[in-house]
A and B are shown apart, each in its own frame.
Chain A
Amino acid sequence: MEKKTITFILNGEKRTIEVEPNDILLEVLRTKLGITAPKYGCGRGDCGTCTVLLDGKSVRSCLILAVEVDGHEITTLEGLSKDKLTPLQESFIEHNSFQCGFCAPGMIMTATELLKKNPHPTEEEVKEAISGNLCRCTGYVSIIEAILDASKKY
């Protein structure tokens, strides 16, 4: 297959790389760019562990072709953590909102989008927003609490 050159903003930096037309964004981020916060969990958009922001909107990077992000902006958890922790990350720490931690990157990205769109969500809105991000450890309660608590700081 003929390779394509794509240019996009990754966590604030302009990157130009060569990809195959059928390369999945998640795997390109992980194997070509060393961005490993987004995780492989199901490969078909069910679990949300690979969630990243595409132009500020949360997307499943396992369902996106790398060529689709040409000219766009991608933010991963690494991008949020660059300088200091966001209030949301601090809140995840405060509420012990993870156990194994594998869902945390996707969960935090989804919650980041939610708080940007809706800085003061209700509990129901939080539950709705993260319902596409599966967590097998926490039972979600501590995650919901962390997001609601963080929303007070926005």
Chain B
Amino acid sequence: MSEYKFIGKPINRIDEKDKVTGAAKYVDDINFGPNLLYAEIVESPYAHAKILSIDTSEAEKVPGVVKVVTGKDFPYKFGLYMKDRYIFAQDRVRFIGEQVAAVIARDPKTAKKAAKLVKVEYEPLPAVFDPLEAIKEDAPIIHPELASYPHVPWYYPHGGTNIAHWRKVRKGDVEKGFAEADFILEDTYRIPRYAHCCMETHIAVGFVDYNGRLTIWASSQSPHTQRHLIAEALRPLGFTEQNIREIVPYVGGGFGGKAGVTMEIIAAALATAVKGHPVKVRWRRDQEFYNTYMRQQVITKLKVGVKKDGRITALERTDYWDAGPYVEYGANVVNAATLSATGPYNIPNIKMDGLCIYTNFPAAGPYRGFGYSEIMFSIESHMTRIAKALGMSPREFRKINGIKEGDPLAYGAPMNENGLIECIDKVADAIKLEEKEESKDPKKAIGKGIAALWKAPAMPPNVTCSAFLKFNEDGSINILVSGMEIGQGMYTVMAQIAAEILSVPPEKIRVELPDTDRNPYHWQTVASHSTWLLGNAVKRAALDAREKIFDVVHRALNYEKDHLYLEDEKVKCTTDPDFELPLKDFVINGIMMEDGTYRGQAIVGSGSIMVEFASALQDPETSQGGHPNVHYTVGAGGVVLEIDKETGRVHILKLAEAIDVGKALNPETLKGQLIGGAVQGIATALYEDMRIDENGKILNPNFTDYKIPTSLDIPDEFIPIFVEVPQHDGPFGARGMAEHVMIPVAPAIANAVEDAVGVRVKAMPITAEKIALALLHGKKEVDDFFMAPTKKKEA
């Protein structure tokens, strides 16, 4: 097929009408009836403490309180990759905000009032917040039982320490590589914690009926994974995957924060305590900061050696990740990021260590970019600094070292087909990288910066996605998948894929929101893998249905199946131009024969896929062997910005990003995602600044003090660019890009800030305050890091 009818077209979103009329139902919009109960969680005021006693008697006396539960009611562990977390704290708490007890009451006000009456006696323990402190020999050990925790085979926990996972990557001879180098740049970079800030806070409703069936309604990216993890945890109470059902309506943003399991398991557990009542747990905005995953704080020590001609000879780095007290998901961020911590460069000699470290800050985990935003800030800052030291253009330096198809990755596998160099060139051209611009305002300076990016979907090697597709009497289609529409426009793209194959326009295709009872298995909507993998499953389901359509027509009308094709919702035949049979005439009712019998079947299709070439089994000392990543999506971002030299305030004049999407299935939704992700990247670079005090308390868990961009903070101009080097195993050549668009923005801004005013900011965020103070004091480098408390308070 040379020209597509629906693929590559700016098809409108299929959820548009729901969302502009307020008809779109999110979990909190569902009416659960008058029997609904509300939970209020009693949270730890200490970052690390022993629980000596819990007295719930006063709370239980409050009229309207139905039940009060504590950890003793649910001594069950859970975790996606490592089981290191309880539903409620058992004998100790490990972060401020940890769930200690819950009051279930008939209305939220009563629950809140009674929760204040739960008396918990604690014995504070020494806490640790700085990952570098946490790995010292005398640091308080946060999980004394770490060595016994079940985990996936690609985790390497160090029992008796706070190192939950240590990923080592070794390739070539790094000492020899540095000896060959003409120039070496060594420095430290710091990335703070960040919050997802979905507009919809986490919410879950659990309900156990009198038949013992547990239903969960959740704002989730992971209905099947949540069902499985909840079933695993609640097995002692008799729950299995079969008698747990999870329903996910529209979700008000995810960005990784609604992946895995966080608070959903609380709603599930509480429902088991009050059979017959739905129980709602909804996070307030401040709880959202504490009790869902944040992005991890990272301290990176990075050393890169280069020849005079620009070739990188060696790279050595150690990343110290602050994962918080539970790493059941977050350690995989460290794992994925470390394997790719070279950035998209072909480097012969590599030594990389990623340490996932327990601390007493709230738990951290997946966030748009899955560790790549963090590793790429240091790499891409370093690349521009080295290029400048060599007197080269940052563009040329990246092009010399940029990885090409077939080049060996850090772990030995070959790089996939990609358009990295084209992306770098297109972005550099778009912002006229090499042309210096002067501001008309003498108080202001203009700077330009560029950064490359790559990212692979981080997922277990046996991830599987599936799709069902069924025709209706009018020839319309319902597609059932369990991938989540969290805003990315996936359902529209799934409809386009089926539309292309079955010749039914997307507006006649509904894609149904997940219900684990009815929609087939999908691992999680994460890793920007859905267009690629679920897209393949939907394509297979559509091909399956098409095969059945042709089979029916062949049996009824004797046309050879090879001669049949679909066009404009009709079956047509290459050998009989006069033949056309509308789908609606037979996809349910069949085709009548001369004798009055029928040939046909209700047309349904199914498609399922597993990545059978991936393997996470590698040498633990080198990461060689195996094939942990299916492929990479690459790209580049560039900014032109203007800085007020007195206030340090940054204004972005132009932002260009080029992503190699393989095939742009829907350029309009891609453009929307690119701009949205770029602004999220700007947010982490310029505005978001989480402050945590020396006791581990977040000082700004709200939008008044934790600033995310408004409409007034966006660049004057966006230049979205899509490069299309086809992915050989992608649907119509496509690969994912949703997380990627955030990755290059922060380092591109850091590079542009230095270009404008000569100040290198090595610790995010790059706030106006940091720039202004550096300019005031004549500092060329800023490594102040406001977020981490510098002194540890002994309890």
Binding site for B on A (CB under 8 A): 30, 34, 36-37, 39-44, 46-47, 49, 76-78, 81, 85, 89, 92-94, 96, 98-105, 108, 126-128, 130-144
Contact = CB atoms under 8 A, between A and B. Distances in A.
Q: Is the interface of B mostly helix, strand, loop or mixed?
A: loop
A42 B284 CA distance: 7
A94 B13 CA distance: 9
Interface in B224-267: 250-255
Contacts of A104: 19-20, 22
Given A81-B21, A141-B714, 5 more contacts: A36-B29, A96-B489, A100-B200, A102-B200, A137-B676
A23 B31 CA distance: 19
A139 B745 CA distance: 13
Nearest to A143: B711
A96 B676 CA distance: 12
A41 B199 contact: yes
B714 A101 contact: no
A30 B22 CA distance: 12
A101 B710 contact: no
B285 A76 contact: no
A77 B22 contact: yes
B252 A127 contact: no
Interface of B: 12-13, 15-26, 28-29, 31, 196-201, 250-255, 282, 284-285, 486-489, 668-669, 672-673, 675-680, 702-704, 708-712, 714, 718
Contacts of B17: 93
Nearest to B716: A123
B679 A139 contact: yes
B26 A102 contact: yes
Given A98-B19, A98-B20, A101-B15, A44 B704 contact: yes
Contacts, number: 161
Given A41-B285, A100-B487, A131-B712, A36 B22 contact: yes
Contacts of B24: 101
Contact of B201 (A40, A44, A85): A40
Nearest to B678: A139
A47 B253 CA distance: 14
Contact of B703 (A94, A130, A134, A141): A134
A14 B228 CA distance: 48
Given A46-B703, A134-B703, A141-B675, A105 B22 contact: yes
Given A39-B26, A42-B285, A138-B675, A92 B20 contact: yes
Question: What 10 A-B pairs have minimum CB-CB distances, sorted nearest first?
Answer: A37-B22, A102-B252, A100-B487, A99-B487, A101-B19, A139-B679, A46-B703, A36-B29, A77-B22, A139-B675
Given A96-B672, A101-B250, A40 B703 contact: no
Contacts of B489: 96, 99
A101 B252 contact: yes
Nearest to A132: B710
A83 to B, nearest CB: 11
A144 B718 CA distance: 13
A131 to B, nearest CB: 4
